[in-house]
Structure 1
Amino acid sequence: MNRLRIGLVGTGPWATTTHAPALAAHPDVDFSGVWGRRPEAAATLASAHATTAYADADELFAASDAVAFAVPPDVQAPLAARAAAAGCHLLLDKPVATTPDAAHHLARAAERAQVASVVFFTLRFAPDSSAWLAEQVALGGWFTGRADWYGSFYTPDGGAAFDSPWRASRGGLWDVGPHALSMLLPVLGDVTDVTAAPGPGDTAHLILRHTGGASSTAALSLTAPEKCAGLAMELRGEHGIAALPSWEGADEAFRNAIDALVAAARTGTAHPCDVRFGLRVTQILARAQERIAAA
């Protein structure tokens, strides 16, 4: 079958360290080019991977069958809607947007264009965590769950390479909250009610009620002290306790996300982590944001 031409929107740390190398090396992909808001950075990144830097995003869309996005969510949403209108399949970053209206507009654009979409929720594509999730979904009988993600981006040694204005303004709720929801919803069901309250720094505490009666909690932060940073997810139910295995990192997960988009584009079968799921995650987080603002 023909290789899928996939372009890249973005030139920041994720685009440079994860997206571009994976697209350039993928056996089923022709890396069709790069567009970024900083033309000089796009030229450097394109040169490093023997592809084309485009001065105009629509020119990249015209030269591509699909587009991967590594830009802030409120930049991503309108650009991805344009890419969909140009007939491009979408490999999106999370969250797909930070307002339900923007996420809904993007989902409708993809639906109208009948293009495939995959949202890169890292844990859903990392081999060990995705296998663990499938096991828990099949097992069933879960009573409660919790997902705690304490990042330390804004400590002196906390990962400044991935700092960005949108993370600083939106905080852990919007940066790591999508990861937590992407794991809780498939096991416990859709969210029917949200309670949320602020903690120290940007920390957000969520209590979620799910279809079927289960409940869950999430603690989300980018400002935790470095020595207490980490990720934990636990389910409790009639079969006992299940804990998420250690996270393996993003590189292999992103390659698997590319595989998923290629398969969805070729077969027309929607992936569970498509833009409609991304829309639902945005709706839940927006409701949590409202509750925090009212606290």
Structure 2
Amino acid sequence: MRSPNGLARSAPFRATPALPPGVRTAQEYAEHPLIDLTEEQIVAAQANDLSAVAAVVEATEERVNQLAWRYATGAGRTDHALTDDLAQIGRIAVWEGLRRFNGVSVAEFFTFMDRTLKGAMSDARKRETRRGVSRSVAAAFERALSLANGDVYEAEWLATTTEAMGDRRLSAETAYAARLSYQGLEYLDAPLGESESGETVTLVDTLAADSGVPVELLEPSDYEKARRKETGVKVRRTLKRMGEQQRVVLMALTGIIPVDYYGTERDEELSRDYGIPLNQVRVVRSKAKDRFAELWASVE
């Protein structure tokens, strides 16, 4: 695989953060699942027997924590706040999954719960990281980000290559929008203004003040979340200042909610669904990109 400058790219090294204390690896769990649950307890839990429900919660807790860590870890780092959120989502999924389980054996139950937990946590992670772009675009960019070892600019390029993405390759415009949604445009030390004493205030200072956490204790995930949140808001504020047709066409380009994803290959459908003359869709899209770039710098 080669970069835009023609140089061969080596496979990125991705260090794996250590698991939280008391949580085993997936291999260790598979080899020794420590299942301490009976079919009778599962049936009783489905009938809302409190002691049986407690037994199910206890029996699934290790897998919940393990998967929460797994889905909150990417590009060699772990978002600990997201880990906690995913673990809670997993516990709720176990509770709700009890009613849907229609198997018999304990093995069937844990297979069902494993699938349920993975689905719930995967969906939650994508909701957290897509911020204004469609689920499919976010998933594609997330894959590229993993391949790029967390480098968002490398990921933007990789997302456009068939070698890395196959049939899920994004257009340059869509990859650019996905990066903006994920990362944002502000640097950590970019001056955001001045304090009452005349000192320059940066994004780091703002995050520390908002979170109540000392600057030295802030983690990369704090910065990333702030950038994603700010970018999502800024994208929508910029779109709001555009004309209706241009706004719709740009939102359709990447699938920004509530407009579905149309990309550049479904212009006929876009024309029909939103009443834009087909021969004008490309023109509107081109002008919309220019207008968006023009407005972006002036939107706060």
TM-score with structure 2 setting the length: 0.25
TM-score (norm 1): 0.25
Larger Rg: 2
Higher strand share: 1
Higher relative contact order (CA 8 A, sep 6+): 1
